[in-house]
Structure 1
Amino acid sequence: MDRYKEIEAFVQVMEHGSLASAALHAGITPVMMGRRIDALEKRLGTQLMHRSTRRLVLTEQGATFLDECRGLLAQWASAEAAVSSQHHSASGHLVVSAPAAFGRMHVAPHASAFLKANPQVRISFNLTDRVVDLVRDGYDMALRIGNVIDPNFVAIKLATNQRVVCGTPAYFRKHGKPKTLEDLKSHNCLAFNLQGGQQRGWYFLQDGKTVTVRAEGNLDCNDGELLHRWVSEGLGLGWRSTWEIQLQLQRGELVTVLDEFALPEYDILAVYPQQRHLPAKVRFFIDHLKKIYARPGYWLRDTP
């Protein structure tokens, strides 16, 4: 059996916490993953981990060997990247995280063109509004929108975004338009939550300071696309990103209010851990998205 695959399997199992999770990430069966670990321990003549149905625990020898294996894999990746960066093609498994709605609308639809130009690449997407740990969870890169970036990461600007309060013309004809932030209390504000009904605030700029207004309404959820649909149906006001609603604004299907209180634009970023040699698969995919987002009128076209 390939020694590299054995070492890679050992590192993946410890990073993902189980044979099943590591196997899913690697695209193989848990049985195959277990066989690679067994072959590695047999070849070394020592037990690297204690396995049970609930958890994996490294032995003393396993803990020492794990650090060495991580170093070897990092050196191997750097060597491959140094060579591949000299060519105009990429290869390998690219693992990407992106916010759920943004990923569905503006990342995943562009994968087919990228794969056509780079047939030796395989891409796995994880679309979630949770901020993932790139290193611990084994991601090559992530798309982030206006988040604070860890100083150990590199962030590449892809485009800009702004948050605005919006609603349908029909909603405003029936309920009127808010003129001040205080007026939001008398409107049905459709809120985003991530903690079982605990509503998040909407942020604005007032008198040079960032202020928070609690969004109160009869609907809230943890799915941005569902909130967008509710706003588009005229059920209430939403605090939405311009990347999501630009086309509707141009068509007059949605109208913004309180623009004078909107926070300044912020960046849509591609983020990856700092490393000596950036793999071509990451660099090429970032360049691919950057070129697409820079096309005139891109944000005003229909979602692919």
Structure 2
Amino acid sequence: MDRYTEVRSFALVAEHGSFAAAALIEGVTPVIMGRRLDALEKRLGVKLMHRSTRGLKLTDLGEQFLEGAMALLKEFDKIESSITADRNTVRGHLVVSAPAAFGRKHVAPHGPAFQKRFPELKISFNLTDSVVDLVRDGYDMALRIGTVTDPNYVAVNLYPNRRVLCATPDYLERNGAPQTLEELSQHNCLAFNLMGGQQRGWTFLRDGKPIAIRVSGNLDCNDGELLFDWVKQGLGIGWRSTWEIQAELKRRELVTLLDEYAIPAYDIQAIYPQQRFLPAKVRFFIDYLKEVYNQPGYWDGSR
């Protein structure tokens, strides 16, 4: 008799309070369940459970062993779940965090189609520009824009992205195009003001080294979508991600500026906490988003 069967049988008897109930779940007779417990106690050399006509009662060592047994069985179930190839087994509750504007356009809208593939799965989205703590706040995964440096997280690149300066042709016709980073001080820069973004300035790459340029303008906001709308209205220069502006660039409604100074590594990433076995619900959703994002024409709206 294998050890797993013995441990599982012991845990079932302890959980349900009788050999008959546990035997019904296992599809065997109560006598067989009793033999399994006998074999486990003999191998361990200790008494795990007192049995009498009045019922079952765990010994002190039995209580201790049950705690470890439940953790072991749970870990075993996670191992099986992590390597299963059957997509129909994806179930449970997937909790996802994403930046507000990006999540609204490119994460949450794909939830219904993904959930349709896995009817037993429930999905919750939290869209916020605040950086959440996945473990403390109970998230299975998050979407992030830019390099993730936290060693407690695993990052998976979903699609390449950069941060670039952009403006409308009308704005540039009225104000001219900056030729150097220093000339940005002469322009109306529409900055993100959450967590001191405007005070820290915009970060570029010059001669292979990051450089922060202080910018100013007559409008700032903590909402990226509103800032993007102002840029499209020709009110100033914006610092946007390439995922956000592909359609406008294709229609020539926006023009990029000072591209040679853009930070190259600002990719769209999925992150999740470091763990021995990745839940199937997380793995499959990451694969699904990667599949969607890499469809030709997805980002410029031409597909």
The TM-score, its normalising length taken from structure 1, stands at 0.72
**TM-superposed deviation, 1:83:** 3.6
Matching residue of 2:221: 221
Matching residue of 1:163: 163
**TM-superposed deviation, 1:187:** 0.3
Q: 1:73 to 1:188 in 2, by over 3 A?
A: farther
* Structure 1 position 123 matched with structure 2 position 123: yes
Q: 1:78 to 1:279 in 2, by over 3 A?
A: farther
TM superposition outliers: structure 1 runs of 4+ over 4 Å: 71-75
Letter of the 1:283 partner, please give it.
R
Give secondary structure in 1 for the equivalent of 2:210.
Answer: strand
Letter of the 1:233 partner, please give it.
Q
Matching residue of 2:111: 111
- Alignment equivalent of 1:79, drawn from 77, 80, 84: 77
- In 1, are the aligned partners of 2:147 and 2:266 still within 8 Å (CA)? no
**TM-superposed deviation, 1:147:** 3.4
Matching residue of 1:266: 266
- In 2, are the aligned partners of 1:152 and 1:274 still within 8 Å (CA)? yes
Structure 2: distance between partners of 1:185 and 1:129: 27
Structure 1: distance between partners of 2:197 and 2:156: 34
- In 2, are the aligned partners of 1:192 and 1:199 still within 8 Å (CA)? no
Q: 1:195 to 1:268 in 2, by over 3 A?
A: closer
Identity of aligned residues (%): 64
What is the CA RMSD across the aligned residues, in angstroms? 2.6
Structure 1: distance between partners of 2:302 and 2:130: 26
**TM-superposed deviation, 1:263:** 1.5
- In 2, are the aligned partners of 1:220 and 1:227 still within 8 Å (CA)? yes
Greater mean deviation of Cα atoms: 277-286 or 147-156? 147-156
Structure 1 residues 184-207: Cα deviation after superposition (integer angstroms, max 9, x where no partner)? 011000000114785441111112
Structure 1 residues 116-154: Cα deviation after superposition (integer angstroms, max 9, x where no partner)? 111111111111111111111110001111133322221
Q: 1:189 to 1:151 in 2, by over 3 A?
A: same
Letter of the 1:208 partner, please give it.
G
Letter of the 1:93 partner, please give it.
H
Greater mean deviation of Cα atoms: 193-202 or 230-239? 193-202
Matching residue of 1:150: 150
Count, aligned residues: 238
**Which has the larger Rg?**
2
Q: 1:88 to 1:259 in 2, by over 3 A?
A: same
**TM-superposed deviation, 1:72:** 5.9
Structure 1 residues 274-302: Cα deviation after superposition (integer angstroms, max 9, x where no partner)? 22221111111001001011111111117
Letter of the 1:96 partner, please give it.
V
Q: 1:199 to 1:74 in 2, by over 3 A?
A: farther
Structure 1 residues 142-198: Cα deviation after superposition (integer angstroms, max 9, x where no partner)? 111113332222111101110111001110111111011111011000000114785
Q: Structure 2, unaligned stretches of length 5 or more?
A: 1-14, 16-66
* Structure 1 position 101 matched with structure 2 position 101: yes
**TM-superposed deviation, 1:74:** 9.3
Matching residue of 1:63: none
Letter of the 2:241 partner, please give it.
S
Matching residue of 2:284: 284
Structure 2: distance between partners of 1:175 and 1:114: 46
Q: Structure 1, unaligned stretches of length 5 or more?
A: 5-67
Structure 1: distance between partners of 2:197 and 2:208: 31
**TM-superposed deviation, 1:76:** 2.8
- In 1, are the aligned partners of 2:147 and 2:265 still within 8 Å (CA)? no
Residue pairs, 1:1-304, within 5 angstroms: 76=74, 79-80=77-78, 82-83=80-81, 85-89=84-88, 90-195=90-195, 199-301=199-301
- In 1, are the aligned partners of 2:169 and 2:253 still within 8 Å (CA)? yes
Letter of the 1:147 partner, please give it.
T
